[in-house]
Each structure stands twice: as structure tokens, then as C-alpha cells.
């Protein structure tokens, strides 16, 4: 049996089918036109933000944007400021919009600033973005730590010399002590040769405890010799880092420990030592920097992670060093001072465990770590297979680069220059391969972070004053090309 459908009924059925596409049926709130006032929030880490400084080397920040209406972002910045998004739809509580804001390195340009404006309806939020070029000098004309570290760039250590220790001869025999680890006496000619090769800086490690009397006073002949060697470096026009070296580290006579059980006595001894050093060198200008201690370990001599209280102890002693030097007044009020992490390690845990000392004058603290990564390139010893020595590889670059990234991030986050006070490359490895390493470690942070790098080992012969490895030196000095 056939059913006839009237024309009217057919038209009615067709209109019902077309209603949704025509927009005549709308029961969802999402389809209703927006009529209420726009509400906009822009936060960083959960807090409202109105200003941010990215520093000389730039970087990025992740902002959280929420809005119940369409939004847009505008800026009066040039190409140095980048935004991941410029506009978008309303957000939900569960799905905010994340905006990545980035700035490029500013090099030697002057401080720059821009406004980033977020709008949603009539609601507006303005973020001021700056990149502040650190002052080259403080208000008294003293070079800041940032400037000093840039100027040092790369350097050498006067290794196994004034830092040597032993018990087979009289510590009052200064020349015998200075040469007991196989190096000749330090000379003005060597420092002159270092400067002539293009190195801007030298680190002078010094071990003090064998040359202190029963009252913890430094014996004059040793102090005089240390001062003489420091003058060699300064006379050559070099920056000089003077430190307290094997008073730290492993060994029964190494007294400078991150040890909370004996912190009072250790702190007093450190303060007495640095009072003497600081007073002796108070007259020297900004090219002399003090490094409070070398590779400090805990009471159990842990090279990995310290026992409980180890980080607390080293932070107390770092503060003691800074306070002691500042208390001597004069030029030491503004001298640039260097503190090291636990064991001078550069891992994330070592950096996280470090609390930078407070200082009465801003901008004169540097952080130091040591880096001998990769170990199979730098720390090969007497058992090395000289017939099968490594070359510099992309894998080595990735390993070392990951550690340098931590230092760059720390430097930029806390606004503190970082000194890699020691690094190495096994002397038997082909010089061209070592040159690749040298260029990599000294230039990796270029335009991205404030890092300087000092080599531990031979580069300039101590008796002939000639370059021992010209190709390696050229690679290492790439770090001075800013």
C-alpha cells in the first residue's frame, strides 16, 4: 500500500532537518554570544607579573593566560622579543593558554625595554620587559664581577707549584717546597709568556697549612713568596686569582672541611687565614681576585654527595670568607670574590645545594666549579693506551654541553658569573683533537652566559717559555673572541 505525503507535510519535514544548520536551534551555552565583561589574567608561576628582566644573555619565561573572551597580544619591541602566540579564543579553567616569551642576547648593546600588552575586551594587562646591561663598574669605579669574568674569559693555572704539599723536607725551605711536585720555580718570564700568547688570566693555587705556625699565623717567608708570584702575574697585565687550595680536599692534614660537627673551629681558622691574606693584598686593584677555597669535602671525604649537613657547612664557610674579606676594608670592600660549590662540582645537586653568600655591595661575587668532562678525554692517567687514544666526538660534545647548560642556566637565573677554574685534556691526545675540545668548552656559552674557563696542565713551557702546543692554544683562545 502506498502512502501519499502531502506537499505541506513534506515541506515541514525538510525545514526540521535544516534547522540545526540554519542556527535556529541552539541549546548550548557555548553558542551564545559573549555579553559579559572580559576577565583576563596573566601570571608566572601562579603570581601576577608586571615586569621581567631577562638579563644580558636573554632567555625565556612561560606565562599562563586565562580569559573568558577572545584575547590578543601586542608589543612595541623590535625583533629581539619573541612571542609564541599573538591571539586566541577564550580559555577554560582546565585549559589555560601558555605563552612563551623570549628575548635574544643583547651583546654589548645598551639596556633595552619594551611593553607587552595583553587585551581581552576592555581588560588590559601590561608587562614591562627589560634587558639590563650590567654596569662595567660599580659606583666607586671598581670593576664588577660580570665585567671581570668577561675580561678573564680563559686562563691557565700555575699548577703543582705553590699548591704542592709533602712531608719529606722542611716546609721552611721555600724553593724545595715550591718545586717538590716536579715544576720549576715560578718566574716573571713565564707569566710574561702567558700574556704574550694571548691569555688574559692566571689562577694561582696556594696551600697554606704547612706554612702556618702553632698560632695559625702564616710565616713571613711563605707570604712574601706568594706575594712575589702574584706580582709576576699582575706585572704581566694578567688577571690573577689567588686561592686556598689543598687545605681542602682529601687527606688527614686537610683541615678545611664541610663539617658541621666542627664548624666553629673550622670557621675561626678560615677567618684568621683570610684576614691575613686579605690584609697583605689589600693594596692591590681589581685585577686580583680572591677564591675562598678549592675542592672542599665533608669529614668523610665524599667526592659524590656530602653527608647530611655538608651543604649547610660549605654555605656557612662561603659566607665566612666573604664577611672576613669585607671586614678588612680598603680595596677589599669591593674586590671580586669567588666561592666554590661542594667539591667544586657542577652537577645539578651541587648547584642546588649552593647558597650564594650575601654581600654588603652587590655585583662582586663569582661562583666556581671544576669540569673534567668527559673523563675518558681529560682524566687518562699512566695506564692510558697511547696507541688508541680518543678523538673529540659529537658524543663528547653532547656530554660536556649538557653540563655547561646547567652552568649557563645557573648564571642567568642568579645573575652570577661562573668560573670553570679547572678543566683538562690528556696531553697524549692529538693536539688537533684537543684544540677541538678547547674551542668547544671556551666558546659554548658565547652570547648565552657569563662563563670563564681555566686550564689545568701544560701549555707554556715553564723553563723555555715557549708555546708547547700552539694548535691547542689557538683552539682554547677562541674563548677570548667575543
Catalytic residues: 295, 422
Annotate 234-271 with DSSP letters as a single string: HHTT-EEEEE--TTSSSSTT------GGGHHHHHHHHH
- For the chain, the first-to-last Cα distance in angstroms comes to 94
Annotate 82-136 with DSSP letters as a single string: EES-SEE----SSSPEEEEEEE---TTPPPEEEEEEEEETTEEEEEEEEEPPPPS
As given in the structure block, the three cell numbers for residue 71 are: 584575547
As given in the structure block, the three cell numbers for residue 156 are: 691557565
As given in the structure block, the three cell numbers for residue 186 are: 715560578
As given in the structure block, the three cell numbers for residue 127 are: 608587562
For 367, residues 6+ apart whose C-beta sits below 8 A from its C-beta are 338, 339, 340, 341, 354, 356, 410, 411, 416, 417, 418, 419
Give 41's strand partners.
Answer: 66
Closest CA to 307 of 260, 360, 377, 248: 260
Q: Pairing between strand 59-67 and 97-103? A: antiparallel
Question: Within 10 A of 119 (CB to CB), how many other CB atoms are there?
Answer: 19
Quote the CA–CA distance of 76 and 54 in Å, as a whole number: 17
Q: What region does 436 belong to: left with phi over 0, alpha with psi -120 to 50, or beta? A: alpha
Quote the CA–CA distance of 253 and 250 in Å, as a whole number: 8
Annotate 318-341 with DSSP letters as a single string: HHHHHHHHHHT-GGGGT--EEEE-
For 406, residues 6+ apart whose C-beta sits below 8 A from its C-beta are 346, 347, 348, 351
Query: DSSP 3-state assignment of 291?
Result: strand
Phi then psi for residue 63, to 5 deg, are -105, 150
* C-alpha 35, offset from chain centre: 51
Annotate 156-203 with DSSP letters as a single string: EE-TTSTT---SSS-TT-HHHHHTTTSPPPP-HHHHHHHHHHT--EEE
**How far apart, in Å, are the Cα atoms of 115 and each of 78, 93, 433?**
11, 27, 47
Instruction: Tell me the H-state helices in 355-460.
Output: 375-378, 394-414, 431-443
Amino acid at each position: 500500500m502506498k502512502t501519499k505525503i502531502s506537499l505541506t507535510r513534506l515541506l515541514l519535514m525538510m525545514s526540521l532537518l535544516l534547522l540545526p544548520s540554519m542556527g535556529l536551534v541552539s541549546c548550548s551555552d557555548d553558542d551564545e554570544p559573549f555579553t559579559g565583561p572580559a576577565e583576563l589574567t596573566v601570571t608566572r608561576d601562579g603570581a601576577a607579573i608586571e615586569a621581567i628582566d631577562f638579563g644580558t644573555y636573554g632567555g625565556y619565561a612561560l606565562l599562563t593566560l586565562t580569559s573568558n573572551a577572545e584575547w590578543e597580544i601586542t608589543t612595541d619591541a623590535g625583533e629581539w622579543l619573541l612571542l609564541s602566540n599573538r591571539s586566541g579564543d577564550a580559555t577554560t579553567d582546565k585549559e589555560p593558554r601558555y605563552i612563551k616569551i623570549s628575548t635574544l642576547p643583547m651583546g654589548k648593546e645598551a639596556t633595552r625595554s619594551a611593553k607587552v600588552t595583553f587585551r581581552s575586551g576592555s581588560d588590559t594587562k601590561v608587562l614591562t620587559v627589560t634587558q639590563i646591561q650590567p654596569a662595567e663598574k660599580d659606583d666607586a669605579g671598581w670593576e664588577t664581577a660580570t665585567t671581570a669574568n668577561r675580561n678573564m674569559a680563559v686562563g691557565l693555572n700555575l699548577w703543582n707549584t705553590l699548591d704542592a704539599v709533602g712531608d719529606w723536607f722542611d716546609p721552611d725551605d721555600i724553593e724545595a717546597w715550591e718545586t717538590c711536585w716536579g715544576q720549576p720555580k715560578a718566574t716573571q718570564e713565564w707569566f710574561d709568556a702567558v700574556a704574550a700568547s694571548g691569555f688574559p688570566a692566571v689562577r694561582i693555587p696556594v696551600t697554606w697549612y704547612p706554612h702556618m705556625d702553632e698560632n695559625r699565623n702564616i710565616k713571613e717567608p711563605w707570604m712574601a713568596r706568594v706575594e712575589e708570584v702574584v706580582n709576576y702575574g699582575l706585572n704581566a697585565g694578567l688577571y690573577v686569582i689567588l686561592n686556598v687550595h689543598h687545605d681542602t680536599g682529601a687527606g688527614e692534614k686537610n683541615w678545611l672541611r664541610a663539617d658541621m660537627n666542627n664548624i666553629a673551629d673550622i670557621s675561626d681558622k678560615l677567618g684568621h687565614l683570610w684576614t691575613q691574606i686579605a690584609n697583605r693584598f689589600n693594596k692591590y686593584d681589581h685585577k686580583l681576585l680572591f677564591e675562598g677555597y678549592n675542592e672542599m669535602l665533608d669529614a668523610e671525604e665524599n667526592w659524590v654527595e656530602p653527608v647530611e649537613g655538608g651543604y649547610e657547612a660549605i654555605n656557612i664557610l662561603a659566607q665566612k670568607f666573604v664577611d672576613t674579606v669585607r671586614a678588612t676594608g680598603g680595596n677589599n670592600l669591593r674586590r671580586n670574590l669567588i666561592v666554590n660549590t661542594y667539591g667544586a662540582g657542577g652537577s645539578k645537586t651541587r648547584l642546588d645545594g649552593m647558597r650564594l653568600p650575601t654581600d654588603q655591595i652587590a655585583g662582586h661575587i663569582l661562583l666556581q666549579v671544576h669540569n673534567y668532562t668527559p673523563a675518558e678525554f681529560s682524566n687518562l692517567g699512566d695506564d692510558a693506551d697511547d696507541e688508541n687514544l680518543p678523538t673529540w666526538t659529537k658524543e663528547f660534545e653532547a656530554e660536556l654541553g649538557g653540563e655547561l647548560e646547567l652552568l649557563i642556566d645557573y648564571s642567568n637565573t642568579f645573575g652570577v658569573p661562573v668560573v670553570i677554574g679547572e678543566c683538562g685534556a690528556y696531553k697524549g691526545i692529538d693536539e688537533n683533537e684537543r684544540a677541538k675540545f678547547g674551542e668547544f668548552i671556551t666558546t659554548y656559552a658565547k652570547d648565552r652566559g657569563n662563563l670563564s674557563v681555566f686550564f689545568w696542565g701544560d701549555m707554556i713551557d715553564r723553563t723555555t717559555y715557549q708555546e708547547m702546543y700552539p694548535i691547542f692554544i689557538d683552539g682554547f683562545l677562541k674563548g677570548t673572541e667575543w
